[in-house]
Structure 1
Amino acid sequence: MEDLIPGLTNDVARECLARVPFIAFPTLCSVCKLWRQELRDPTFHRFRKSTGIAQPVVVVVQSVPDIAQSARPRPVVYRLVIFEPATGVWSSLPPSPDLPFGPPLFCRLAAVGTELVVVGGWEPRNWATTDKVHVYDFLTGEWRRGSPLPDPLRSFFACAAMHGSDKGCRVVYVAGGHDENKNALRSAFAYDVTGDSWKPLPDMARERDECCAVILRGKFLVLGGYSTEAQGMFSRSAEVFDATAGSWGPVEEAVLEKAAWPVTCVAGEDGRMYQCTGKEVIVRLEGGAWATVAELPGEMRLVLNAVAWEGKLMVMGLERSGGSLVANILDMKATTTMTTPASASWRKVEVPPEYQGRLLGVCCLVI
C-alpha cells in the first residue's frame, strides 16, 4: 500500500491530514490522487467528527450591502456567504461560473456531506423561474451543474437533504411550491446527488405552496403551506415521507403551533423539532404540545432564519433598534424545558458591515 506521507504510518498521516482546516481541502485534493481519495473516504470524515476536528459551516444567501450608501439606487445583487462559528469568520463563497449575476433569488439550499446543493429560484436579471441545480464541493472548491429540477417549473417549494455517508445516502428532497400560474403543487421529487438523477415521489395528500421542510428522525417532514384556493392562509398541518416505505404518512393536523410561514423550524439532533416564534424558541414535545425552551435575545426584533447543528441553534434577524442584521447562537444541549427560558445562554455573533445584507436562505454543513 502506498504511503499517504512518506516516512509516516498511514494512521499518523491520516491524523495529520484530518487536522488541516476545511478551507485548505481544495489544496490537499490538488496535491495527489491518493490524498484526494483519502479526503473522499467517509472514514476520514467520521474520524474528523469523532475527534471534534470537523467544523460547522453556515451558508447564507445574502445581498451585497451598499456600504457606501450610494445616492442612486443600485440593483440588489446576491451572493453565497459562509460563516464559521468556531472562529467567527465570515467570507464569500467562490461564485459559480454558471451564475454570473449571483445565486437565483429564493433558491433553496441543501447540505449533503461536504457538498452544497443550490436548487431552483428566480433568475436575478429577469425573475424568470429556473430549474437549474448547482453543486459546490468544499473538498475541491469547484462548482458543477446538476440535472435540472423536473417539470413543472416551481417556486417557493420545500427542500431538505438526507445524508448518511455510511449507507451512501445522499438525497435532496423537493416538495410543493407553486407553478408558473400560481397553482399550488402536491408533487415531490428526490435528487440523488451522487448519481445526479431525479426521481418522482408519490404526490402529497394536499397542495402546499410556501411550505418548508426538515429531516426529522430520518424522514422528510413537509410543514405548513397553503392551497391554490387559500392563497396566503397557512396551514398548521404536515406530511411525512418515509423513504424506506416509499410513501407518505397520513396528514397530521395542528403540527405547527401557529398558522404561519414555518421558515424558522429546524430539526435538533435530539430528534425534536424547534421553532423561533414571537420572542421565544419553542420545542415540540411527544404528544404534539409545544414548550418554551428559551427567550430570544432582547436585541432581536424579528427572526428571519434559523439553522441547527450538533446541539447548537443559530438565529439571524433584525435588530430592534436600527434594523441591522444580528445573529446569536444557543447551546441547545444546555437548554431544556426545565430551564428557565430567560436564563438561556446566547452567544452573540459579530456581523461585519460587509455582511449586513438581506437574507434569503440558510443551511449548515459539518466538514
Structure 2
Amino acid sequence: MQRVRVSSHQSPVHKLGDNQMRLSPKFRLQMTPPHPCPLDSILTLELGPLIPGLPDDIALTCLLRLPLDFHSTCRAVCRRWRHLLARKEYFFTQRRALGFSSPFLFTFAFHRCNGRIQWQVMDLAHFSWHTIPAMPCRDRVCPHGFGCVAIPQEASLLVCGGIVSDMDCPLHLVLKFEVCRNRWTVMTRMHTPRSFFAGGVIDGMVYVAGGFSTDQYELDSAEVFDPAKGTWHPVSRMLTNMSSYDSAVLGGKLYVTEGWVWPFLSSPRGQVYDPMTDTWESMTAGMREGWTGLSVILDGHLFVISEHEGMRVKVYDTESDSWGTIEGCSVPERIRKPFSVNAIGWTIYVVGRGLHVAIGFVQRERSIVSVGNRMKSTFSIRWREIDVPLTFCDLTPSSTQVLFG
C-alpha cells in the first residue's frame, strides 16, 4: 500500500439547502447550440495569436491540456487566454470537440453537523479538488435519499428523487449536470416520487425501481428515462415492494438488493430486471446472500467492498453462484464508513468519511482449472491513498461517480 501526499487547492464551496434559493431561468431545459469557436481571423487580428509564433490550432491543443488549478493564473496572461479559460462551458466543449478527456471523481457529500450538501470534484489526473455549481433545490433534503447515476455518453450526471429532511415526503425531482456546460438543468419529473431506490444505466437509458413513497411505504413501481427525448415511461412492476441498498448493471440487466441490515433478523431480498423482455425475476440465493457491501463492475465482473467482513473486496462467480475474497489488503483503515464507490477500467475508487480517497488497482492474476475443468479467474488488489484538504473533515459521502471531461 502506497500513500501519496498531494497539495490541493480548494475553491469556495457552493452549499445546498438555502431556503432563499430559487430556480432561475438558466436551470430550465434549454436546447441551444454551443458557442461558436472564437478562434477566427477577426479575433486573431484584434487580440493577437494565442501563443506568438504558433498557429492557433496548435496553440489551442496546448492550452486545452492545462490543469484546472492553473486556470485562474493563466487567465491574466492576455485577453485571448481569458476568453478561453474563464468559461468552463467553452473550455470543456472545445476539449470534447478535439477528443481530449480526463477522468474526474464527482462526490455527492453532506456536512455531518448541519446536513448541507454539496458536490466535490477531484481531478484524477492531478489529484486536485474543485467544486461545481450548487444543485437548484429549495428544500433541505436527505442526501442518502437521492439516486445518482452517471451517463458516460453525455458526460453528465442525473440526480433523481430524494426526500425532504424531517418529513416523509419523497420527491420526483430530476436534475441533470453536464460537464461540458458546467451547469444544472431541471428535467422532466419522474412519474412516481421516490427515495432510497435502485438506479442504473443500460444502453444509454436510465432505469429506476422501488424505493420509499410517502410514510415510508415501499414501492414496486419502476420507470425508464430517455436522455435524448427527456421523457419517462413506466416499465414492468417488481415482483415485490422493496427499497434498495445497492444496485448494479451486469450483462445488460439491473440487479437490485436490499442488503444485510442489523440485526440481521431476515435474509435480504434481491431482484433482477431484464429490459429486453421487460420482466423481473428473483436474484439467485448465492448472489443475494453474499452481497454485503457496495458494488462496482470491472470488465463484466461484480465486485463488492464488504461492510461486514473487514472491508475486504469480494468478487462474484456466476457459474458457482458464490463469492470469493480477492488477494491483497483490505480497504485502508483511513476509509471509514459510510463510504461510496465507483470504478473505471480496472481501478476502484472508494471515498470514506472526510472524503478520504483510496484507489484500488485490480489485476487479473491468472486463470486456473477448477472442479469440472472450468476456467476460473483470480484477482488481486493493491491500494493507494490520496490525502485531502483538512476542510473536508466534516463531510460524509453519499454517492460517487466518475466522468470524463
Q: How far 1:105 sits from its partner (Å)?
A: 4.9
- For 1:281, give the aligned amino acid: V
- In 2, the alpha carbon distance for the partners of 1:326 and 1:146 equals 32
Moved more, 350-359 or 100-109: 100-109
Partner of 1:358: 396
Structure 1 residues 232-272: Cα deviation after superposition (integer angstroms, max 9, x where no partner): 8452533132x333333554333134365x4x11111x101
Aligned 8 A contact 2:169 2:214 in 1: no
* Contact map agreement 1:109 1:361 (CA 8 A) in 2: yes
* 2:215 alignment partner, SS class: coil
Secondary structure of the residue aligned to 1:181 is: helix
- State the TM-score, normalized to the length of structure 2: 0.68
Tell me, in whole angstroms, the C-alpha distance in 2 between the residues paired with 1:209 and 1:101: 22
Tell me which of 357, 361, 367 is aligned to 1:331.
361
Q: 1:286 aligns with which of 302, 308, 318?
A: 318
Alignment of 1:64-75 (within 5 A): 64=111, 75=114
Shift of 1:217: 2.6
Equivalent-residue separation in structure 2 for 1:192 and 1:25 (angstroms): 33
For residue 77 of structure 1, what is the aligned residue in structure 2?
A: 116
Computing the radius of gyration over CA atoms, which structure comes out larger, 1 or 2?
2
The amino acid across from 1:252 in the alignment is T
Residue of structure 1 aligned with 2:185, choices 125, 128, 144: 144
Query: Structure 1 stretches of 5 or more lacking a match?
Result: 49-53, 66-73, 163-168, 319-323
Measured on the aligned residues, the alpha-carbon RMSD in Å equals: 3.7
Contact 1:240 1:249 in 2 (8 A): yes
* 1:123 counterpart = 2:160: no
1:81 counterpart letter in structure 2: Q
Picking from 181, 204, 212, the partner of 1:170 is 204
CA distance in 1, matches of 2:136, 2:241: 35
| 1:348 aligns to 2:348 (yes or no) | no
Which residue of the partner structure matches residue 24 of structure 2?
none
Question: 1:345: how far off?
Answer: 1.8
TM-superposed deviation, 1:4: 8.8
Query: Following superposition of structure 1 onto structure 2, how do residues 253-272 of structure 1 map, counting pairs within 5 Å?
Result: 253-258=285-290, 260=292, 262=293, 264-268=294-298, 270-272=299-301
Q: Is 1:215 the counterpart of 2:244 in the alignment?
A: no
1:27 alignment partner in structure 2: 87
Instruction: Provide the rounded CA distance (Å) in 1 between the counterparts of 2:198 and 2:106.
Output: 17
Partners in 1 of 2:86 and 2:207 — Cα distance? 28
Counterpart CA distance in 2 for 1:225 and 1:210 is 8
Structure-2 residue corresponding to 1:68: none
Aligned pairs, how many? 323
Structure 1 residue 191 corresponds to structure 2 residue 231: no
What is the aligned-residue identity percentage?
20
TM-superposed CA distance for 1:91, in Å, is 2.3
> Where in structure 2 are there 5+ consecutive unaligned residues?
1-35, 42-53, 72-83, 367-376
* 2:50 corresponds to: none
Given that residues 62 and 81 in structure 1 are in contact (C-alpha distance below 8 angstroms), is that contact kept between their aligned partners in structure 2?
yes
Contact 2:199 2:207 in 1 (8 A): yes
Q: Is the 8 A contact 1:158 1:176 kept in 2?
A: yes
- Residue 87 of structure 2 aligns to a residue in which SS? helix
Question: Corresponding residue for 1:156?
Answer: 196
Look up the SS of the partner of 1:184 in the other structure: coil
- Residues 184-243 of structure 1 show CA distances to partners (whole Å, capped at 9, x for unaligned) of 2221111112211101111122322134221223332223369xxxx98452533132x3
Q: 1:365 is matched by which residue type in structure 2?
A: L
- Between the aligned partners of 2:85 and 2:296, the Cα distance in structure 1 is 29
C-alpha deviations, 1:270-298, integer Å up to 9, x for none? 10100011221011123122121233145
Residue identity matched to 2:230: D
Describe the shift of the 1:79–1:276 C-alpha distance in structure 2 as closer, same or farther (beyond 3 A). same
The verdict on how the C-alpha distance between 1:117 and 1:335 changes in structure 2, with shifts beyond 3 A counting, is farther
Residues 103 and 124 in structure 1, CA contact (< 8 A), matched pair in contact too:
yes
